[in-house]
């Protein structure tokens, strides 16, 4: 028999067997669907019966609690539970939609009848309780009749559960048996189809064609998944198989070249994308720590083979301090002199490597690696340094990446400069230029924030005024007056420490806010300030300035008290201290004034 005839017969039989097996599978699926539907009906009916029982018990509990306690919240809960029970009863009337049989509907009707009887008894008990007859109400809700109907309800629910369980179990067994039977038929037909197909393959295909095609099919499949590492053996054949083999070999070579170009393009796109993401985040940074985190996170992703560190020069420009690093080990000192880096000295990027005929930066701890130091320059001033370190045997990669590394350094430098400028502007806005203390604007802002709190904490305010300050300006000049205020501000900061905040209110007047401090402790701090001020020995241009004294007014606000008048009350106490002879602390306390004088 011809191969075409065998192939046609095999094709026809395969189609018939496939159609039969498909039909068997469809019937099996339908049986499985019937099985699932039986399970759903079982769960729905059992769940509805259980909900009826649970809601009845909940309603009974709320009615009893109301009778025992007389709390209307239990009456409200009873009404909610009763409404839910009515909803479930209405649902039970249509239980046939969930597949309930006539017998099961009768059982549902009995359950509903018991629930209605219990409802009637509970409503009678509630009405008796409302009428003040608590004894009768308890007799109804805790009596024998209520208990008997409740037991009958539980028994009817249990009987309903048994009936539904028996019916659905039988339906499940029938559906499962039918599904298994159709599934077995489908598998048998599929097995016959597979055996026929394998027989045709065995008798029709020839070794000369099958083996080369099988080998080349595997190669093509791997090439289709872009696995160009597969080897394509060249076969010196002049037939179609040979031509196909040569074409596959050329396809592999082209694929290797395309893969190389794609990898370079993807790496370039990814690098640019990461670079842009880092630049956007650098612009949004508000603190140097945030900027350091951004650079430390993105730099290893942009240049996976390079480790490095970010350094910022201190205000005295005497040292570069590391504020962030990525990848280990660290190849540079955490802090070093600017003269230790040739890149910082020269103001341009500098490559350090033992194989290069050039000087190496002395701050590098790993002299075997190749390092690139890029100074951070903003507006003509060098404010920091970016240091990158790569493998000792791969100097080319860090040299080729210099363009991107310099671009990163430019953007980081601009971001650092912006942060430093913002910090300086912030300090100018909230600090007094002469004393370095917080200014009056900061004091007003702090008091507004405290007053805006929903439950303000205890707060004490000290108002301080240097006594007869005009004498220092008149006798010794304004520079001497400035010295007095600066010295007093330093003493004030030292005494208060981290227990509160110090402010220059204006002129020779100062303020201190002490949060969550008892009045006695605040009074002792005020006295410490006053006594230590009197012991200050100041001189200006060889002249002794004399005794410096201070008058202090103290007022506080208890927990949750009014903060808006705190400074005014402290100012009133200060005026009383000055009227009483200066060099003393006056404390406002419950409408009276307590004072300590020097």
Please list the active-site residues. Answer: 508
Pairing relation of β-strands 459-466 and 509-515? antiparallel
Whole-angstrom CA distances from 289 to 293, 311, 419 are 6, 12, 11
In order, the DSSP letters of 371-429 are EEEEEEEETTEEEEEEEEEE-TT-HHHHHHTHHHHHHHHHHHHHHHHHHHHHHHHHHHH
Beta-carbon neighbour count of residue 470 at 10 Å?
11
Three-state SS sequence of 179-237: HHHHHHHHHHHHHHHHHHHHHHHHHHCCHHHHHHHHHHHHHHHHHHCCCCCCCCCCCCC
Cα end-to-end distance, the chain, whole Å: 130
In order, the DSSP letters of 337-368 are -GGG-HHHHHTS-EEE-TTSSS---TTBS-TT
Pairing relation of β-strands 584-589 and 550-557? parallel
How many angstroms separate the CA atoms of 222 and 210, rounded?
18
CB 356 within 8 A of CB 326: no
With b for 16 or more beta-carbon neighbours within 10 A and e for fewer, the 101-140 pattern comes to eeebeebbebbbebbebbbebbebbbebbeeeeeebbbeb
Going by C-alpha positions, the residue among 413, 385, 409 that lies closest to residue 302 is: 409
Going by C-alpha positions, the residue among 249, 256, 241 that lies closest to residue 219 is: 249
Only one residue has tokens 């000290």, namely: 462
How many angstroms separate the CA atoms of 157 and 152, rounded?
9
CB 301 within 8 A of CB 281: no
How many angstroms separate the CA atoms of 122 and 325, rounded?
75
Going by C-alpha positions, the residue among 92, 93, 104, 88 that lies closest to residue 55 is: 88
- Token pair in block for residue 65: 């609690």
Give the HSE-up count for residue 356: Cα atoms under 13 Å, Cβ half-sphere. 20
Give the HSE-up count for residue 154: Cα atoms under 13 Å, Cβ half-sphere. 6
How many angstroms separate the CA atoms of 457 and 451, rounded?
10
Beta bridge partners of 212: none
Element counts in the chain: helices (H) and strands (E): 16, 14
């Amino acid at each position: 028999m011809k191969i075409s005839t065998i192939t046609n017969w095999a094709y026809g039989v395969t189609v018939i067997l496939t159609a039969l097996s498909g039909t068997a599978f469809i019937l099996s699926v339908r049986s499985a669907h019937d099985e699932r539907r039986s399970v759903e009906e079982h769960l729905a009916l059992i769940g509805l019966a259980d909900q009826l029982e649970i809601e009845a018990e909940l309603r009974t509990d709320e009615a009893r609690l109301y009778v025992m306690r007389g709390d209307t919240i239990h009456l409200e809960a009873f009404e909610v539970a009763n409404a839910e029970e009515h909803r479930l009863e209405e649902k039970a009337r249509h239980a046939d939609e969930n597949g309930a049989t006539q017998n099961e509907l009768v059982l549902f009707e009995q359950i509903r009848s018991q629930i209605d009887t219990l409802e009637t008894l509970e409503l009678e008990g509630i009405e008796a309780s409302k009428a003040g007859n608590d004894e009768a109400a308890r007799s109804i809700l805790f009596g024998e009749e209520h208990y008997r109907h409740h037991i009958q309800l539980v028994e009817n629910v249990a009987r309903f559960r048994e009936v539904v369980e028996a019916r659905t179990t039988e339906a499940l067994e029938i559906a499962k048996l039918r599904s298994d039977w159709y599934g077995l038929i489908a598998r048998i037909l599929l097995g016959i189809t597979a055996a026929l197909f394998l027989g045709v393959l065995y008798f029709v295909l020839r070794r000369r064609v099958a083996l080369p095609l099988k080998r080349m099919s595997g190669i093509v499949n791997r090439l289709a998944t872009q696995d160009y590492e597969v080897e394509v053996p060249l076969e010196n054949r002049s037939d179609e198989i040979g031509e196909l083999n040569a074409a596959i070999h050329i396809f592999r070579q082209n694929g290797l070249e395309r893969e190389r170009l794609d990898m370079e393009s993807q790496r370039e796109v990814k690098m640019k994308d990461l670079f842009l993401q880092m630049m956007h985040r650098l612009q949004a940074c508000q603190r140097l720590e945030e900027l350091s985190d951004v650079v430390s996170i993105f730099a290893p992703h942009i240049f996976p083979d390079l480790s490095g560190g970010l350094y910022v020069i201190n205000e005295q420009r005497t040292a570069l301090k590391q504020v962030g690093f990525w990848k280990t080990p660290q190849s540079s000192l955490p802090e070093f002199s600017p003269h230790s880096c040739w890149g910082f000295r020269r103001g341009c990027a500098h490559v350090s490597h033992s194989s290069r005929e050039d000087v190496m930066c002395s701050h590098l701890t790993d002299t075997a690696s190749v390092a690139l130091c890029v100074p951070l320059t903003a507006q003509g001033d060098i404010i920091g340094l970016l240091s990158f370190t790569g493998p000792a045997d791969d100097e080319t990669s860090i040299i080729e990446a210099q363009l991107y590394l310099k671009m990163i350094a430019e953007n980081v430098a601009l971001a650092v400069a912006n942060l430093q400028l913002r910090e300086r502007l912030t300090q100018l806005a909230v600090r007094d230029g002469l004393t370095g203390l917080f200014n009056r604007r900061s004091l007003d802002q702090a008091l507004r924030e405290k007053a805006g709190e929903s439950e303000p904490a205890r707060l004490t305010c000290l108002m301080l005024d240097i006594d007869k300050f005009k004498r220092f300006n008149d006798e010794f000049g304004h520079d001497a007056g400035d010295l007095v205020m600066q010295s007093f501000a330093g003493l004030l900061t030292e005494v208060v420490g981290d227990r509160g905040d110090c402010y220059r209110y204006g002129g020779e007047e100062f303020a201190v806010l002490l949060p969550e401090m008892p009045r006695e402790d605040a009074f002792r701090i005020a006295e410490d300030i006053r006594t230590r001020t009197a012991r200050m020995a100041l001189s200006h241009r060889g002249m002794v300035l004399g005794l410096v004294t201070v008058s202090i007014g103290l007022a506080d606000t208890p927990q949750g008290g009014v903060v808006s008048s705190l400074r005014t009350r402290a100012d009133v106490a200060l005026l009383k201290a000055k009227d009483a002879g200066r060099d003393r602390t006056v404390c406002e306390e419950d409408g009276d004034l307590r004072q300590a004088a020097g």
